[in-house]
Structure 1
Amino acid sequence: MKKIVLLIAAFAGTISFVSAQKLPSSKVPAEVKNAFGKAHPEIKSVNWEKEKDYFEAGFELRGHKISEVYTAKGVLLETETTIKVSELPVEVTTYVSGHYKGAAVKEAAKIVKADGTIRYEAEVKGKDLIFDAKGNLVKN
């Protein structure tokens, strides 16, 4: 019985480590806060999370929910912006309607990597499907 309890505790600890954790601003490295502040001096309200070794800033700008992912040194890795489902490339909605009969895209986002690579995210049936800029499935 002890082994089962220990196994469950270890598994639960692993799950919480893998998922994002809310973080007070005081726990965010100065390099990250400085980089964010330089990029967005107008933003006063930021929600911070930590996932693995990265720091994610969540905020709203001009009616869009945005999140940016930074390294501990303050290097921006990607920006994810919510968009209307109608703003997804037509190839994305075509893929969804062909592979998920009767399902709708619940949320959509445009992801811009630091190197300029564009990805689209479509949440369908609780899954985040990732597409390239041309609407080709990259990850499901």
Structure 2
Amino acid sequence: MTVIIANALCMGLFAQEKEGKSITPPDNVRAAFKKTFTGVSKVKWEKEGNDYEVNFVQQKKEMSAVFDSKGTWKETEEEIAVASLPAAAASYVKSHYNSTKIKEVAKITKAGGVVNYEAEVNKTDVIFDAQGNFIKEEKDSD
């Protein structure tokens, strides 16, 4: 019984570490976030290289945003339904990943208005442009 409890505690610690440590960003970054995004809940900040990533819920949607150290917004990632992925992207996944099921889909809006889509397949993020054309693959760090 003690071994089971110890294992459960270790697994919980590992899972918490894997998600990244929650941090408190500089005041200007927090202020920029509050000005850009209203009506949010479940806010959690993490350091991402030289930038700050904030995960949150807005209007019942899981989202994240990235700000630089000056508080400049760089991009927003919004969880969307698999059915909202452009048809060309869904077709690409089906033909290149042996019809493997798409785990998650996100719409990424970058500063300047460029939109990309991200489909998670087999622990890989497959990135597409707004029309669903393949851009690149990235191994999922989660």
CA RMSD of aligned residues (A): 1.5
State the partner residue of 1:46. Answer: 43
Distance 1:102 1:40, change over 3 A: closer
Distance 1:45 1:99 in 2: 36
Match of 1:71 among 68, 72, 76: 68
- After TM superposition, the structure 1 = structure 2 runs for residues 8-47 of structure 1, keeping only pairs within 5 Å, are 21-25=20-24, 28-47=25-44
User: Tell me, what secondary structure is at the counterpart of 2:131?
Assistant: coil
State the partner residue of 2:131. Answer: 134
When normalised by structure 2's length, the TM-score is 0.80
Match of 2:119 among 122, 125, 139: 122
Q: Which aligned segments of 4 or more residues in structure 1 are displaced greater than 3 angstroms?
A: none
Give the C-alpha shift of residue 31 in structure 1. 1.0
Distance 1:88 1:44, change over 3 A: closer
Aligned residues: 120
Which amino acid in the other structure matches residue 46 of structure 2?
A: E
Segments of structure 2 that go 5 or more residues without pairing to the other structure are 1-17, 138-142
Distance 1:126 1:44, change over 3 A: closer
User: Tell me, what secondary structure is at the counterpart of 1:46?
Assistant: strand
Distance 1:110 1:44 in 2: 20
User: Tell me, what secondary structure is at the counterpart of 1:72?
Assistant: coil
Distance 1:29 1:67 in 2: 17
Give the C-alpha shift of residue 63 in structure 1. 1.7
Identical pairs, percent: 41
